[in-house]
Amino acid sequence: MSVVEKRLKKLREKLAEKGIDAALITKRENYVYFSGFTGTSAFLIISQNDAVIITDFRYAEQAKQQAGLYEVEQYHGSLIAALNDVIKKKGINKLGFEEGYLTYEKYSEYKKKLNVSEFSPLGGVLETLRMVKDQDEIEIIKKAVEIADNAFSHIINFIKPGVREIEVAAEIEYFMKRQGAKGASFETIVASGERASMPHGVASEKVINQGDVITLDYGAIYKEYCSDMTRTVFLGDPQPEIKKIYSIVLEAQQKALEGAAAGLTGKEIDFIARDIISKRGYEKNFGHGLGHGVGIEIHEEPRLSMAGSIKMENGMVVTVEPGIYVPGLGGVRIEDMIVINDDKPQILTQSTKDLIVI
């Protein structure tokens, strides 16, 4: 049974449990996962016995090549007419939709114009199925992580006084593409000096100076899957307080990595790191969650945060990224990607976490 066949089987089981005849899938990350088609326009209708992909002229041939388990329907004019044609042919009455993705405008249009007796939310079924990665996914993610790791080894030899943050970001992204990445997982963060106190300080025109702390947060997309890592380095000897902060963040991250066990909620793992940082007096300087799921999307469930209620399961891929940010001084974040594996997670990110002075 192929990867897509296994995914369809699990989805059909969930649809049967909910009494839904078929699922309408329109979000790209979801249709990539359930079909293998990687174009930018597709509509899947998946029932117990059928799988149909509806697309336009631009992608019809690609869909036939990539989504071999699907009937490919090419529409020329009205998408609604094409959807209704499939609905009629397949005898669909209750159609499920992605309530977390569909806009109110589209929901209203589909509810009004699709010839179904019931247009019903899928209740997060698709996202739940995507949370636990299979071995094929994990191997692809490992490669995405490796590309990012290699970029870190490269960039610490590129950074020097006088280089702008945007030049560092461009070099990271160019290097990753040369290593086989489709692109960057998100807008690359390079935050130096006092800007390092901004957790998402994307690369700016700022010149990196001797004595700056530098936060590097970036990732690679490889075969549609993302990686995500953060390292904090220093251009010249760090100030005493920022050096102290680095050791606290490193301790918090290491303890959270050791404690990231199956069966714990995201909140419980978040607390491991947050408690260490709080006891060192920096509770107010760690204002984001400890981590998040990573897959086809850079941010997906489950969340490691104070509100993280989902229990960890083997095969979930998450980040562990505590940080301390002090306005006027700078900040430190250290981030690895891991695979939940009983009580000993598999740590994917391999770049050193020793304090690096360039």
301 and 277 within one domain:
yes
**Secondary structure, 3-state, 83-123:** HHHHHHHHCCCEEEECCCCCCHHHHHHHHHHCCCCEEEECC
Last residue of a domain, one of 114, 131, 148: 131
226 and 199 within one domain:
yes
% residues pLDDT > 70 (the chain): 100
Write out the residue range of the structural domain in which residue 266 sits: 135-347
Closest CA to 351 of 147, 133, 135, 138: 147
318 and 170 within one domain:
yes
CATH code at 255? 3.90.230.10
- Please give the model's pTM, rounded to 2 decimal places: 0.96
174 and 238 within one domain:
yes
Q: Is the pLDDT of residue 161 over 90?
A: yes
Strand order in the sheet with 300-304: 300-304, 291-293, 317-320, 336-339, 346-347
Burial 197-208 (b: 16+ CB within 10 A, else e): bbbebbbeebeb
CATH code at 98? 3.40.350.10
Q: How far apart are CA 112 and CA 121, in angstroms?
A: 15
140 and 121 within one domain:
no
- What's the chain's average pLDDT? 98
Is 243 among the domain residues? yes
Q: Is the pLDDT of residue 184 over 90?
A: yes
* Structural domain total, the chain: 2
299 and 154 within one domain:
yes
308 and 171 within one domain:
yes
pLDDT one-digit tens code per residue, 309-318: 999 999 999 9
Closest CA to 274 of 230, 323, 232: 323
Region at 306 (left for phi over 0; alpha for psi -120 to 50; beta for the rest): alpha
Last residue of a domain, one of 78, 112, 131: 131
Is 354 among the domain residues? no
Last residue of a domain, one of 70, 102, 131: 131
Q: How far is residue 91 from each of residues 15, 21, 72, 86, 170, measured CA to CA in Å?
A: 15, 9, 18, 8, 52
Q: Label residue 1 by pLDDT band (50, 70, 90).
A: confident
pLDDT of residue 250: 98
pLDDT one-digit tens code per residue, 275-301: 999 999 999 999 999 999 999 999 999
312 and 202 within one domain:
yes
306 and 169 within one domain:
yes
pLDDT of residue 180: 98
